[in-house]
């Protein structure tokens, strides 16, 4: 049996507009999770699927909900619940791309941590699709600013994380407030009992999908466990981060206060390192994520919850500064590396006291942990491990009709940079970020300040 023909998207009963999007996006073949979940989802069945970030799950449920959407009916028809705002933004973007060839699809992202007023203003007409976090969606349904009576598809994305974050009651309440007959698609990286309970409560006779061989979806991840004394943890970390792989690495700490301490210490030692945890203001979180994604920050130190929804693929290196408290969390961490066909390295530092936690992981892996010795080299004083880019922040954004092209134009025109020296450009509602080659950042800043963007003098500064 030829498998390639089996996994072409055009074997599915999808609208031509959706097949066209899939083609534009360059998806030649379905990923395993798509090949297994799309046929039953398109038949209207409830599905519970074990799928990690990177498996193509978003396109799977995105295509399915768009297939059943009727644009002429001005009602909310599909609701996607996500654990974090970052993930909701990412899912919204992916669905918009898939919907690019269907005119007039209205999609709204509704997340907590953002003011309610503008959300209420944009809800004068029900959108077709809402992507959001459970608390905020629940609030809108309660207030009556959102109407669930026409919902045909409910998606629970990263359901395990939503439960971890305490959204279980909100989800149940939401289910009680939307149309009784709807399809429920549940995606979760892990299947603890709590997920099975949710499935039993909210799904009808679901088809269960697990992708047989994770090797098919995931390229090789090399794991290493390194035993270190607590006093040498930071030295070990700094040594592991030195060199090519440390140019874009994610470091996990179990505790928030360690996140700050480790990021500060790395910064002191000459790394472009930033901290990310749940206590931070939304704007600070945004800025950290922007800088990590655009390569102005080489090392991101984060808690597990904060790192969820991070829209970064193919990190070459992930380090657990502490052994994760449970094997599921460990699996999530190492899943951050080795995406998109690139091999990744996942290193876990383990102090003698953390051995029992490592043994739990060993039991779940059902094979001996790959222990590696690390010879600590003598401290070499401060070394420079700076990220290749630096971020400029511009105090204008979408509301000012500022577009990425305007910024690129100003930098390559008046400021005299080559297009190669300009990196990722992120335009938010009221501000914009652009990465430029670190060595040219000051020059770019001076020139931009001297010139104009879109005929205006805008406030510009460097970040970090």
Residues that bind ligand AMP in the complex, under the rule CB under 6 A: 27, 30-31, 34, 53-59
Residue closest to 326 by CA, chosen among 133, 156, 194, 212: 194
Q: Six-digit token pair at 76? A: 């909310």
Nearer to ligand AMP, 62 or 134 (CB): 62
Residue 10 Cβ vs ligand AMP, minimum distance, rounded to whole Å:
12
Indicate the SS3 state at residue 404: helix
Q: Give me the residue label for tokens 């222990």.
A: 371
Nearer to ligand AMP, 27 or 191 (CB): 27
Distance CA 52, CA 57 (A): 8
The DSSP bridge pattern shows strands 389-394 and 432-437 to be: antiparallel
Residue 262 Cβ vs ligand AMP, minimum distance, rounded to whole Å:
27
Nearer to ligand AMP, 52 or 199 (CB): 52
> Residue 183: which H helix or E strand, with range?
strand 183-188
Residue 313 Cβ vs ligand AMP, minimum distance, rounded to whole Å:
6
Distance CA 329, CA 145 (A): 36
Residue 54 Cβ vs ligand AMP, minimum distance, rounded to whole Å:
5
Closest residue to ligand AMP in the complex (CB): 58
Distance CA 350, CA 6 (A): 44
Contact 78, 69 (CB under 8 A): yes
Nearer to ligand AMP, 11 or 439 (CB): 11
Residue 215 Cβ vs ligand AMP, minimum distance, rounded to whole Å:
16
Nearer to ligand AMP, 55 or 67 (CB): 55
Nearer to ligand AMP, 272 or 331 (CB): 331
Residue 222 Cβ vs ligand AMP, minimum distance, rounded to whole Å:
21
Residue 332 Cβ vs ligand AMP, minimum distance, rounded to whole Å:
13
Residue 33 Cβ vs ligand AMP, minimum distance, rounded to whole Å:
8
Indicate the SS3 state at residue 347: strand
Distance CA 445, CA 440 (A): 9
Residue 31 Cβ vs ligand AMP, minimum distance, rounded to whole Å:
5
One DSSP character per residue, 273-330 reads EEEE-TTS-HHHHHHHHHHHHTTS-SEEEE-HHHHTT-----BSEEEESS--SSHHHH
Distance CA 108, CA 122 (A): 8
Nearer to ligand AMP, 210 or 442 (CB): 210
Nearer to ligand AMP, 311 or 414 (CB): 311
CB-based contacts of 35, cutoff 8 Å, min separation 6: 6, 7
CA dihedral 145, 147, 153, 156 (to 10 degrees): 40
Q: Give me the residue label for tokens 């290193």.
A: 347
Nearer to ligand AMP, 51 or 259 (CB): 51
């Amino acid at each position: 049996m030829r498998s390639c023909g089996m996994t072409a998207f055009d074997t599915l009963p999808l609208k031509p507009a959706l097949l066209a999007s899939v083609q534009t996006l360059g998806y030649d073949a379905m990923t395993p999770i798509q090949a297994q979940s799309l046929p039953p989802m398109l038949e209207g069945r409830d599905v519970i699927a074990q799928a990690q970030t990177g498996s193509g799950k978003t396109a799977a449920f995105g295509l399915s909900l768009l297939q059943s959407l009727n644009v002429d009916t001005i009602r909310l028809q599909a609701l996607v619940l996500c654990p974090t705002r970052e993930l909701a933004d990412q899912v919204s973007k992916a669905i918009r791309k898939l919907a690019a060839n269907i005119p007039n699809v209205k999609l709204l992202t509704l997340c907590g941590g953002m003011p309610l007023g503008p959300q209420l203003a944009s809800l004068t007409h029900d959108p077709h699709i809402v992507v959001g976090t459970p608390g905020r969606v629940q609030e809108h349904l309660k207030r009556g600013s959102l109407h669930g009576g026409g919902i045909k598809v409910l998606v629970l994305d990263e359901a395990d994380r939503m439960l971890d974050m305490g959204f279980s009651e909100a989800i149940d309440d939401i289910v009680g407030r939307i149309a009784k007959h709807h399809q429920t698609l549940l995606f979760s990286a892990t299947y603890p009992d709590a997920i099975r309970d949710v499935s039993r409560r909210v799904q009808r006779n679901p088809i269960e999908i697990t992708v047989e061989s994770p090797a098919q979806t995931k390229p090789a991840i090399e794991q290493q466990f390194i035993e270190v004394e607590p006093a040498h943890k930071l030295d070990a970390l700094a040594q592991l981060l030195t060199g090519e792989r440390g140019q874009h690495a994610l470091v996990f700490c179990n505790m928030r206060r360690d996140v700050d301490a480790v990021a500060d210490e790395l910064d002191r030692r000459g790394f472009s390192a930033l901290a990310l945890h749940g206590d931070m203001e939304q704007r600070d979180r945004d800025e950290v994520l922007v800088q990590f994604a655009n390569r102005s920050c080489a090392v991101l130190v984060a808690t597990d919850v904060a790192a969820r929804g991070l829209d970064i693929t193919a990190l070459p290196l992930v380090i657990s500064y502490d052994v994760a408290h449970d094997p599921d969390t460990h699996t999530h961490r190492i899943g951050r590396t080795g995406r998109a066909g690139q091999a990744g390295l996942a290193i876990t530092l383990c102090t003698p006291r953390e051995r029992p936690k490592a043994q739990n992981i060993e039991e779940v892996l059902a094979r001996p942990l790959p222990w590696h010795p690390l010879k600590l080299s003598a401290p070499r004083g401060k070394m420079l491990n700076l990220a290749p880019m630096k971020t400029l922040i511009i105090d204008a954004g979408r509301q000012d009709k500022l577009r990425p092209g305007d910024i690129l134009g100003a930098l390559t025109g008046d400021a005299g940079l080559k297009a190669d020296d300009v990196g990722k450009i992120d335009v938010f509602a009221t501000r914009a970020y652009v990465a430029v080659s670190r060595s040219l950042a000051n020059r770019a800043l001076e020139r931009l300040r001297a010139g104009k963007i879109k005929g205006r003098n805008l406030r510009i500064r460097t970040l970090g």
